[in-house]
Structure 1
Amino acid sequence: MSARRILTACAMLALAALPALPAAAQEWRGWNIHAADYPNGQAMDAFTRMVGERSNNRIRMRTFHSAQLGQQDEAIQQMRLGTIDFGNFNLSPFNNLAASTNVVTLPFLFRDVGHMQRAIDGVAGEAIARELEAIGIIALAWYDAGARSLYTTRPVRTPADLRGMKIRVQTSDLWIDLMRGLGANPTPLPFGEVFTSLQSGVIDGAENNWPSYESTRHFEVARFFTTTEHSNVPEVLAVSRQRWQRMNEAERNMMREAARESAALQRRLWAEREMVSRQRVVAAGVTVIEINDRSPWAALMEPVYAKYAATPALAGLVRSIREMR
């Protein structure tokens, strides 16, 4: 063997003996519409800490809370393009992108929170995850978002009271049809515009859960809360498919486990926050109108079910959820 070959072989052996250098750290940007101290914000921060620790800080995730990276529809598009790496989204804005998300958005579908959680952790979540992946989003875990009810600038006790009222809804055909079915004039608006729109009279009301109503201070301009509990749409903690495809199986499993642990935390914090938020707005003088019999409201939703659960697959998913015990 020549001297040059001997030197080359020695150099290669020396390089092989060196410890492997860690892969370059990945900087991930995350989106959240809520404030950092909201249950979702706290759970997302726990998720990013766990991923950082379990990846030896190779995956460094930072959540931009309070919609710093844009409103929800914009953030979903950025996620699909890969310019946002992870986020926590309500499923309603996906209604026009993934048909199965319409099912869990259907009004008066779930009997209670436990029923919703069993469905989204099982058959409903599996169906939705498949469709979200097809549009570039990987579902990791499911957060609670509470039962949604109406809040308005004047009392609403029956569907008849909604006639002619302009009610803010999310950007979704289903939500537009839902509110129209109740007799209201649905008005799609970004969430960040609701307070000023209520204040100026552009809208007469909106619909959301107790923590959102309280934390945004919407109760200051819409003083009547009607417990229709017409919808209990879960939320998804997800990552961009572009990021996911660059991860190995061990990293994916680690991230899914961290996401599930963050979901357990979020659900516990959510239940606590709902009680506190209701107490706060009642103490501030809000009039709570309790709806004990929701059957007159639910009866108006038959056309919504006929339209949005029309295929055999979607009708079968509705049936599976209703039969759950």
Structure 2
Amino acid sequence: MKAMRAIRAQALTVMRAGALAAAALLPWAATPATAQEWRGWNIHAADYPNGQGLDRFGQLVMQRTNNRIRMRTYHSAQLGQQDEAIQQMRLGSIDFGNFNLSPFNNLAPSTNVVTLPFLFRNVAHLHAAIDGATGEEIAKDLEAIGIIALAWYDGGARSVYATRPIRTPADMRGLKIRVQTSDLWIDLMRALNANPTPLPFGEVFTSLQSGVIDAAENNFPSYESTRHFEVARFYSTTEHSNVPEVLAVSRQRWQRLNEQERTILRDAARESAALQRQLWAERERVSRQRVEAAGVTVIEIADRTPWSSLMEPVYAKYAATPRLAGMVQAIRALP
């Protein structure tokens, strides 16, 4: 009997050891108590291309971690406006989000380069830059301030829309125009002799309606989805800027992940970016059709040379260092 008990005890020991070894090979064999709850920020509605991209990102991460990392995106700026959300991410109270790069201009120097006016020839040129060396440089600067860049979304070509027609740079003189909180954007509009007015995005409609500002600038989907076209009926295709957006996670969260988890997040982010870009191109087309059908006057700016020729002081100020000037040169040299 003693011999039998010894055999059984030895067998149980072997089985337990085997189970532990098997569990070690399954990185997601975690109990519900160890699951991580991640909060994500998005300024747009859930059905916007960016919202759909973020939701796909969260779904893929949850699937591939067997729900160990559970992601919930709070759309429509539920967690605050963009500047507030950036600070929350740096502090670690927001875990992931999708941000325009312009609000980072005063925090991460290389983001100034992709914000420079009239830099990108077209969307393909933008993708070649941001998916390559330019994106790597920006990611370094963002990591230094507590934000890990995973992938790049399209932000669309931004143009001026106003309560009166804008056809030439001369029409910008004295115009009170909303800009993002960025010194570069302020100087850009000053170079056009306009009066830049930094305002939160959520205040643009009422400010246009009340006359606090005369104009704003953004892409067709933002212009249409926010119904800014109802109070600013003239859209001029200046396409002065085509700033990419970043899908990022908090560095505090990132530092607590292992390499396999990081790979899952990177892959999911890139797949979500491919979806967002596809949806964005379609949304731009549909949004333009919608505002034109609503009676908006779209003024085509065929020759942007009179506009771009005024931007030399902006480049001199914001691409003055050898590093940033080199980035501009490298982007312009891309095929």
TM-score tier by shorter-chain length is over 0.9
State yes or no: 1:230 paired with 2:230. no
Residue among 45, 48, 65 paired with 1:38: 48
Q: How does 1:3-152 map to 2 (within 5 A)?
A: 16=17, 18-19=19-20, 20=23, 22-23=30-31, 24-152=34-162
Deviation for aligned residue 1:254: 1.0
State yes or no: 1:243 paired with 2:253. yes
Quote the Cα distance in structure 1 between the aligned partners of 2:202 and 2:315. 29
Question: What is the CA deviation profile of residues 63-99 of structure 1, one whole-angstrom value per residue up to 9, with x for unaligned ones?
Answer: 0000000000000000000000000000000000000
State yes or no: 1:170 paired with 2:176. no
- In structure 1, list runs of 5 or more residues that go unmatched: 1-5
* Structure 1 counterpart of 2:166: 156
Quote the Cα distance in structure 1 between the aligned partners of 2:322 and 2:65. 43
Residue among 291, 312, 315 paired with 1:302: 312
TM-score (norm 2): 0.92
Question: What is the CA deviation profile of residues 239-276 of structure 1, one whole-angstrom value per residue up to 9, with x for unaligned ones?
Answer: 00000000011110111001000000000000000000
Deviation for aligned residue 1:205: 0.5
CA RMSD of the aligned region, Å?
Answer: 1.4
Quote the Cα distance in structure 1 between the aligned partners of 2:143 and 2:249. 10
* Structure 1 counterpart of 2:221: 211
Quote the Cα distance in structure 2 between the aligned partners of 1:161 and 1:183. 9
State yes or no: 1:265 paired with 2:275. yes
Question: What is the CA deviation profile of residues 189-234 of structure 1, one whole-angstrom value per residue up to 9, with x for unaligned ones?
Answer: 0000000000000000000000000000000000000000000000
Quote the Cα distance in structure 1 between the aligned partners of 2:97 and 2:13. 44
Quote the Cα distance in structure 2 between the aligned partners of 1:41 and 1:133. 23
Quote the Cα distance in structure 2 between the aligned partners of 1:146 and 1:313. 26
Deviation for aligned residue 1:18: 4.9
Quote the Cα distance in structure 2 between the aligned partners of 1:153 and 1:39. 27
Quote the Cα distance in structure 2 between the aligned partners of 1:262 and 1:46. 6
Give the 3-state SS of the residue equivalent to 1:300 in structure 2: helix
Quote the Cα distance in structure 1 between the aligned partners of 2:18 and 2:323. 57
Quote the Cα distance in structure 2 between the aligned partners of 1:316 and 1:266. 29
* Structure 2 counterpart of 1:190: 200
Matched AA of 2:89 = M
Question: What is the CA deviation profile of residues 141-185 of structure 1, one whole-angstrom value per residue up to 9, with x for unaligned ones?
Answer: 000011000000001111111111100000000000001111110
Quote the Cα distance in structure 1 between the aligned partners of 2:81 and 2:305. 34
Residue among 285, 289, 293 paired with 1:283: 293
Question: What is the CA deviation profile of residues 7-66 of structure 1, one whole-angstrom value per residue up to 9, with x for unaligned ones?
Answer: xx9898786455546151000000000000000000110010000000011000000000
* Structure 1 counterpart of 2:3: none
Question: What is the CA deviation profile of residues 119-157 of structure 1, one whole-angstrom value per residue up to 9, with x for unaligned ones?
Answer: 000011000000000000000000001100000000111
* Structure 2 counterpart of 1:179: 189
Quote the Cα distance in structure 2 between the aligned partners of 1:16 and 1:241. 36
* Structure 2 counterpart of 1:3: none
State yes or no: 1:220 paired with 2:230. yes
Give the 3-state SS of the residue equivalent to 2:306 in structure 1: helix
Moved beyond 2 Å, runs of 4+? 9-21
State yes or no: 1:324 paired with 2:334. yes
Quote the Cα distance in structure 1 between the aligned partners of 2:14 and 2:332. 65
Matched AA of 1:289 = I
Quote the Cα distance in structure 2 between the aligned partners of 1:101 and 1:319. 15
Matched AA of 1:223 = R
Deviation for aligned residue 1:279: 0.1
